[in-house]
Amino acid sequence: MSPDPEHPGRGLLVAIVGPSGAGKDTLIRLAMERLRGEPGFVLARRVVTRPPDESSEDHDSLDEAAFERAEAAGAFCLTWRAHGLAYGLPREVAEAVAGGEVVLANLSRRSLAEAGQRFARLAIVEITAPRAVLVSRIAARGRETPAEIEARLARQVELEMPAGALGLLRIDNRGPPARGADALIRHILTLAGTSRSARVPQGQA
């Protein structure tokens, strides 16, 4: 299910993208913690064909066969494949956007074209970091060999903005995560068209 493009409301999907190791999950978590209690902001909980662990996002898990059955049954509003895994956004995400919510979602750059077709209002935030930082962070997870890490980074694709996307913010996340989270929060509030304070400390952005 996706919003009716002729009646989009003011809901918005904020797609957070970037290479492995850039710190997307950390910035999303910090932003949502600071926005807690602010009405109208929702975090999309992804479904992934990988068991959850402490080094990755908090997500729901299905095996490949169950994921394909759920996909065929229309359980997702957006799906994609990357790094040998399947990812899906539950159809409730589209319902929340159609109902006027601002939804943050960790997406793949490969999924942006389809997201642009399915969501009437889409904004993109790209989290980046130098290659050496990416390698160090991925290695710290302990899930991949050095060769596998190089292969993962080599598979990254360039970001292509879908037609009609509201804008792009790039955040260099090599420094303190709080700084990147401040930039993300301010951008989200601007996109939401609100003057409400996100309780961002002065001087940290």
CATH value at residue 19: 3.40.50.300
Bigger pLDDT: 33 vs 37: 33
Task: Indicate whether 57 belongs to any domain.
Answer: no
Contact 173, 23 (CB under 8 A): yes
pLDDT value at residue 82: 84
Range of the domain at 127: 12-45+92-192
Task: Indicate whether 40 belongs to any domain.
Answer: yes
Task: Indicate whether 69 belongs to any domain.
Answer: no
Bigger pLDDT: 12 vs 194: 12
Task: Indicate whether 3 belongs to any domain.
Answer: no
pTM of the predicted structure, to 2 decimals: 0.81
In 122-192, DSSP assigns E strands to 122-128, 168-172
Task: Indicate whether 114 belongs to any domain.
Answer: yes
pLDDT-above-90 percentage for the chain: 51
* Cα–Cα nearest to 24, from 162, 204, 196, 156: 156
Location of structure tokens 């990755």? 56
The angle formed by the CA atoms of residues 25, 27 and 198, to the nearest 5 degrees, is: 135
Name 180's Cβ contacts closer than 8 Å, sequence gap at least 6: 23, 27, 127, 171, 172, 173
Task: Indicate whether 203 belongs to any domain.
Answer: no
Task: Indicate whether 120 belongs to any domain.
Answer: yes
